[in-house]
Amino acid sequence: MQVWVNLGSIETVKDFVSIVAHFNGDAELKSGKYVVDAKSIMGIFSLDLSKKLLLELEDPTEEEMKSIDKYIVKD
């Protein structure tokens, strides 16, 4: 599953990683040609956080999706 997320601050990234770290499947964040592990705080900080990021999740549960709802970009 793919969704766009916004992680515009250091505190937001810390909270996001603490949530996603408990997901069972793989999680990747993509920004242009760059792809990082969404469970890696250092990896996320290597991306341009001023832009929305594409989050790719492997078989997320409904509960997992609800836990990151506040970061999902609503168009």
Can you spell out the DSSP letters for 3-61?
Answer: EEE---SHHHHHHHHHHHTT-SS-EEEEETTEEEETT-HHHHHTS-TTS-EEEEESS--
Tokens of 33: 């040609």
- For the chain, the first-to-last Cα distance in angstroms comes to 17
Per-residue pLDDT tens over the stretch 22-64: 999 999 999 999 999 999 999 999 999 999 999 999 999 999 9
pLDDT at position 48: 95
Alpha-carbon gap, residue 36 to 32, rounded angstroms: 11
Per domain, the residue ranges of the chain are 2-71
The confidence band for 75, taking pLDDT boundaries of 50, 70 and 90, is: confident
Spell out the CATH class of 2-71: alpha beta
> What is the reported pTM?
0.93
19 has pLDDT over 80: yes
